[in-house]
Amino acid sequence: MCATRSRPTSAAAKRPRGRPRKTPDQRDDGNRRQDLIQAAANLFRRHGFNGTSTRHIAFAAGMHSGSLFCHFKSKEALLYEVIQRGMRSALARQTIVLRGKHDAAAALRQLIRLHFETLLETNSDFMWAVLYESRALNTRQLRLIEELQSNYEAAWTPVLHELASTGCLRAEVPLARHLIFGSLNWSLQWFDAKNGASLDDLTDAMVALVMHDTPR
């Protein structure tokens, strides 16, 4: 004898299919996480990683002191996210430049201009963390960040080789690359837009330092 199926209750019959709707707090989780990342980047630059507490970060993001740990396991995990965000954004912006159809001289100029912009405008706080706070990462995290940095710098090498082959580069490629990045990155320490120099001025000066006006 077959079992009699029970009728679904009206509540069960009206239950909507698919994922349940998110509560307002759940919908806001992504924004809260972004607020924490941005606040942390700003505070790490102003006070250093060691001089910034999780309470300061949460307060700057408009959250209770313990709420940070709903999004990140630790302050170190938040630092890793800040540094990753800085490097991945720089890589994405650089890729757009490299996809363009430019000769080597124009490509180098655009790469230098973009690097200044990334350091001094668009991603300034994040790139500060990349350059000066990565020592607080653990070995695994540091290895992954170094890989991203290596990929970023390696993308300049074909451009520099092309310039060297035509006699436009003032130094051998490996040396030129070290000198370029050393000079560009140091600008984060001293550049002040209020002093009158623009990013275009910086780019012109950097290009003049590394390239001959005419091939040799």
The answer to whether the CB of 127 falls within 8 A of the CB of 42 is no
Report if pTM > 0.85: no
Q: What is the pLDDT along the chain (216 residues), one digit of tens a residue?
A: 334 444 444 444 444 454 444 343 443 466 889 999 999 999 999 999 999 999 999 999 999 888 899 999 999 999 999 999 999 999 999 999 999 888 999 999 999 999 999 999 878 999 999 999 999 999 999 999 999 999 999 999 999 999 999 999 999 999 999 999 999 999 999 998 888 889 999 999 999 999 987 666
H or E element in which residue 179 lies: helix 173-190
CA 27, CA 196: separation in Å to the nearest integer?
A: 44
The CA-based dihedral angle spanning residues 161, 167, 171, 173, taken in that order and rounded to the nearest 10 degrees: 10
CA 48, CA 41: separation in Å to the nearest integer?
A: 10
The answer to whether the CB of 76 falls within 8 A of the CB of 136 is yes
Residue 18 confidence (pLDDT): 45
Dihedral pair phi/psi, residue 186, rounded to 5° = -70, -20
Q: How many residues does the chain have?
A: 216
Residue 103, by phi and psi: left (phi above 0), alpha (psi -120 to 50) or beta? beta
Owner of token pair 């912006």: 93
CA 159 to centroid of chain Cα atoms: 23
Residue at 93: amino acid letter: R
Residue 22 confidence (pLDDT): 39
